[in-house]
Amino acid sequence: MLKNLYTQVDFLNLTTDDIARLTDILDIDIPEDKDKYEYLFERINTIEDNQEANSILTNKVLAGQVTVKWFKYSYDENINKDKLIEKLQSEDFGFDVDVGNRISSNISNDIASVVCDGDVYTLKVFIFDGYKRHNNGIVSKREMIMKNIIVKINVENCWVEIRANDERCNKIIRILEVRLGLVNLSGSRILKNYVNINDFKNSLVDGFHLNYKAVPSELIKLTEEDGVKIANMIAIIDDYFEEKNSEILLSRLDELEFDLDGLSLSSLLLAGVDSVGMKIRNDSENDMSNQSLYAILKDHLIEDSSYIRFKTTPNGEQYTMRIGIKTNSIVFKSSVTEDVINYIRERVL
């Protein structure tokens, strides 16, 4: 049961709307002097006894605003499917054991609990995540920070999902390699099934490309004189749109005596630029792919990250995610459910 993985911290993934729905379904009022997350966690059995309330909980409490990365692995003579299942279902990793009974053993940088749903095993892994200093206005104290990370392993299709950023993913991978014997773990490219980010966007329900960051694909250096000539070139083209006289346009461009050396004007405009960012106005009905400046520059840029707005059903809720093309990660900026993560996973893997 997923319940075995829940800790009080996980309930922080519930939004204000989630809590309102739960209290309405259960017909309960949370006292003002009580912490709402702690209050609900203490009543987890009551929530589970109500099918509608339990559905909200199981779909959100291990998800929320989360970063996700996917990896593939392969079996070999040292680890096959049966051996992996045997390890995952062992007492060493708390298979089907309440994580609350396991963390009392001060588990750190290890698998604390495992549950199974068909071919997919869900792991809760605790890692050391540095120190944080607390003070009460009188004394200060440095305390260790522990993070619990959700990991999913599909033993049939050989994929691993880690809900953490790059640095924490690296720690998790080492644990999976040492403790489970997984080998050949390699990051799955977010866009491996698509031509580009807009192709990916178009595969989503109501996909909308909000903004992006990119770096120029060429490193071009210009002199100060070159910069002046490019500025003059743009001014001449602007004048053409007023005068509509192509002969004057060509004559004035010839007078510049500017050798482009086989470079396009678009690439020259990016000379000396370290990175480029572009964002759609909130009231825009057309997304990034329909903007003229994006269309002009896109072939001369290497995109680093993009924000995409999407739905999972035509009349469903709207979500926003950041696609890390360089990091091959998805950061859900909206609070999402397991269903939303599944929807994106099916398109990425």
- Dump pLDDT digits (tens) for 145-204: 889 999 999 999 999 999 999 999 999 999 999 999 998 899 999 999 999 899 999 999
| pLDDT for position 257 | 66
Least Cα distance to 74 among 132, 156, 131, 18 occurs for 156
Radius of gyration of the chain (CA): 26
| pLDDT for position 107 | 83
- Determine the Cα–Cα distance for residues 10 and 180; give it in Å rounded to an integer: 25
- Determine the Cα–Cα distance for residues 220 and 226; give it in Å rounded to an integer: 11
Query: Which residues neighbour 287 within 8 Å (Cβ) at sequence distance 6 or greater?
Result: 201, 208, 209, 210, 280
- Determine the Cα–Cα distance for residues 289 and 347; give it in Å rounded to an integer: 20
Would you say the C-alpha torsion 36, 39, 41, 44 has a positive or negative sign?
negative
Q: Is residue 212 a contact partner of residue 303, using CB atoms and an 8 Å limit? A: yes
Q: Is residue 318 a contact partner of residue 309, using CB atoms and an 8 Å limit? A: yes
Continuous segment of H or E residues that includes residue 206: strand 205-216
Continuous segment of H or E residues that includes residue 319: strand 318-324
Q: Which residue in the block uniquely carries the two structure tokens 């999972």?
A: 312
Low-confidence ranges of the chain (pLDDT < 70): 104-105, 222-223, 226, 255-264
The single-letter DSSP state of residue 189 is P
pLDDT tens digits, one per residue of 275-293: 888 888 878 888 988 888 8
| pLDDT for position 151 | 98
CB neighbours (10 Å) of residue 215?
15
Alpha helices in 3-158 (DSSP H): 16-26, 36-41, 44-48, 51-60, 81-88, 99-103
Q: Is residue 151 a contact partner of residue 114, using CB atoms and an 8 Å limit? A: no
